[in-house]
Structure 1
Amino acid sequence: MTMIRLFFLVLLPLALLVPKAFAQSAPMLKPVVTVAGDLVTLGDLIAGAGTKAEIAVFRAPDLGQTGIVPADDIIAVAAAHGLVDVETSGIGKVAVKHASRIVTADEMLPLLSQALADGAALEGPDALAIEIDPAFANIHVPVEADGAIRFADAFWTENQGRFDATLIVRRIDGTDERRQLTGKAVETAAMITAARALERGTVLTSNDLRIERKPKAAVRDGQIDDAMLVVGMEVRRALREGQAIRTGDLSEPVLVKSGATVSVVLKTGGLTLTAIGQAMSDGKNGAAIQVMNTQSKRVLQAVVTGPDQVLVQAPRTIVSAQK
């Protein structure tokens, strides 16, 4: 009798645990839900929905958006489909998010620029400055659309400064997801600008220059688009960093200063002689100046050929024919 009583006392606590175990497997409302498709099922909203899990009960929010569903509405629709005794654990509302892939503006711009340039027969993707309308800066597509992106039907309207194009994203099943987008686009032109603040008299090197693209409508007469035309030139006035460099801002640099010691090259016939001279005036490349030979003190007419370098051509002697 004592043994039976002890056995019963041991079993009693175990029996008290059984209802709790069953309670853990009861349907339970989820506080936060993420869905990939356009429909929300009972299984999405309720853990342990069993055979009712695949029943669609609500439409999902727009791609990438989160919607709020009152818990009472979920309980009511579940009961209507025969799913009862759902444990809410005090949850008053459920957040439902529609998962998506986000195609960002940074991802789109290189391919979009190329597509618009090709469509307009422009020189390259940098030929247009593009700004995607805010509504399309981040485009949501289904998570199944995980393939590469491309653009079709890309058109630029020059007089309006607008574009429209179709974004195409390949889905897992091989089909395409398509989205229209619009924005602003203006043609640009390359121009040479100052890479740093430049003082008057600076002789320009490639490190002083930067190539930028500006709206073509803002390009003024005399602006330069080829750095090779600028390197070696002298700045006639101070320029601020980022300022466009125009032809009027430049002049040939003074290669020979008055009073400077110069290397004199004298060419006569097939001979080339060199001497040291003193410049009598300033001279730019190709300028004719007077140079004094420091040994003979003779003043010669010379042409500036480089920094502190001049060339003297000996006059030809013309012999007339004897009759």
Structure 2
Amino acid sequence: MSAMTRSGWLALLFLIAAVLGHAKAASLTLEKGRPFTQSGFEQLIEDALPPSQPGQRLALRTLTPSLPMNNSTNQPVLLDLADLQIDRARGRFEAELVVQAEGGRRNPLKLVGSVTTEVEVISLTAPVAAGSSIDPSDASITWIAEGRLPEDALRDPSQLKGMEAARRLPAGKPLREGDIRPASLVRRNDVVDIVYHSNGMEISLLGRSLSDGSSDAMVRVINGDTGKELQARVIGQKQVEVKGMTR
């Protein structure tokens, strides 16, 4: 059997892609003078793309011809998607369009470009200073190429609940586990409520914290009455607990 030519292999690959996800009929109308842009192309092919896993999407970027394309017609132009072939293994696509312009003429237009699998991550909508609290409402969805996804990237806004920035964080950059930490309930030099527990008895008095601490963390505090330094466990907002009656 003779070796299959390069064009034969390409035809086979595109046939497989077509079986796995053939283009659905789609069209786009360009108003008079409106250029054909990348966003317009994405709108045209949206319904023709094969389904992706949750949190993933296919990003198609047109390389030839380059977009935007000028539109010098004096009436609306109808673009029909005749065929879309996606080769994920090679990161390539080919799209066949039919352009219906003035006088009802129908002209073919072929577009070739790259295909990238993108994944959903979260980023901040505005910069956040180190130590500032972060809430899920501070985050938005960002898409990045799967090959550039850090292993510790945060992908769910709920992961930000009860957290604060471990360092100054810019807007728009994918968040990673090391960028956040549990929010401090007690901060250095805070006036805190020191609660003593011993043998069923509880005594509460004021003191001062010498370090930061999140929930359940151990911090150093100074008893406001005696000036003695103690180790205490953070139990709430500006509230710590000391076991035993040593004051």
TM-score, shorter chain, exceeding 0.5: yes
Equivalent residues of 1:261, 1:279 under 8 A apart: yes
1:230 maps onto 2:160 in alignment: yes
For 1:304, the aligned partner's letter is I
**CA distance in structure 1 between the aligned counterparts of 2:242 and 2:47, rounded to whole angstroms:** 56
TM-score with structure 1 setting the length = 0.47
2:195–2:240 contact (8 Å) kept in structure 1: yes
Stretches of structure 2 that go unaligned for 5 or more consecutive residues are 1-31
Q: Give the structure 2 partner of residue 110 of structure 1.
A: 43
Structure 1 CA distance, aligned partners of 2:233 and 2:84? 62
Please, which of 187, 205, 219 is the counterpart of residue 149 of structure 2?
219
Corresponding residue for residue 190 of structure 2: 260
Q: Structure 2 CA distance, aligned partners of 1:134 and 1:124?
A: 30
More helix by share: 1
Q: Which residue does 2:122 correspond to in 1?
A: 192
Instruction: Determine if contact 2:98/2:108 at 8 Å carries over to the other structure.
Output: yes
> How far is 1:284 from its partner?
0.8
Task: For residues 140-168 of structure 1, give each alpha carbon's deviation from its aligned partner in whole angstroms, at most 9, with x where no partner exists.
Answer: 8x999855x55354232122111123335
Q: 1:104 aligns to what SS in structure 2? A: coil
Instruction: After TM superposition, list the pairs within 5 Å mapping 1:80-91 onto structure 2.
Output: none
Q: Distance in 2 between matches of 1:274 and 1:132?
A: 71
CA shift, 1:247, in A, is 0.7
1:159 equivalent to 2:86? Answer no
Counterpart in the other structure of 2:112: 182
**What stretches of structure 1 of length at least 5 have no aligned partner?**
1-99, 268-272, 315-323
| 1:54-92 CA distance string (max 9 Å, x none) | xxxxxxxxxxxxxxxxxxxxxxxxxxxxxxxxxxxxxxx
CA shift, 1:181, in A, is 2.6
> Which has more radius of gyration?
1
Q: What amino acid does structure 1 have at the position aligned with 2:191?
A: T
Q: Deviations over 1:266-317 (max 9, x none)?
A: 99xxxxx995533555321232557778689998965423x32457899xxx
How far the C-alpha of 1:132 sits from its partner, in A, is 1.4
Distance in 1 between the 2:75 and 2:135 partners? 53
Which structure exhibits the higher relative contact order, with contacts defined as CA atoms closer than 8 Å and separated by 6 or more residues?
A: 2
Does structure 2 retain, via aligned residues, the 8 Å contact 1:115–1:152?
no
Q: Distance in 1 between matches of 2:109 and 2:75?
A: 15
Shift of 1:188: 1.0
Give the length in aligned residue pairs: 205
Compared CA separation, residues 261 and 134, structure 1 to 2 (3 A): same
Shift of residue 139, structure 1, vs aligned partner: 8.8
How far apart, in 2, do the equivalents of 1:163 and 1:220 lie?
Answer: 26
Counterpart amino acid of residue 156 in structure 1:
I
Shift in CA distance, 278/203, structure 1 to aligned 2, threshold 3 Å: same
Tell me, in whole angstroms, the C-alpha distance in 1 between the residues paired with 2:147 and 2:112.
22
The whole-number CA distance in structure 1 between the counterparts of 2:152 and 2:139 is 16
Q: Which residue of 2 aligns with 1:245?
A: 175
Task: Describe the SS at the equivalent of 1:221.
Answer: coil
Q: What is the alpha-carbon distance in structure 2 between the residues aligned to residue 112 and residue 171 of structure 1? A: 20
| Identity across the alignment (%) | 22
Q: Note the C-alpha offset of 1:206.
A: 5.4
Root-mean-square deviation (CA, aligned residues, Å) is: 4.7
Q: Secondary structure at the match of 2:175?
A: coil
> TM-score when scaled to structure 2?
0.58
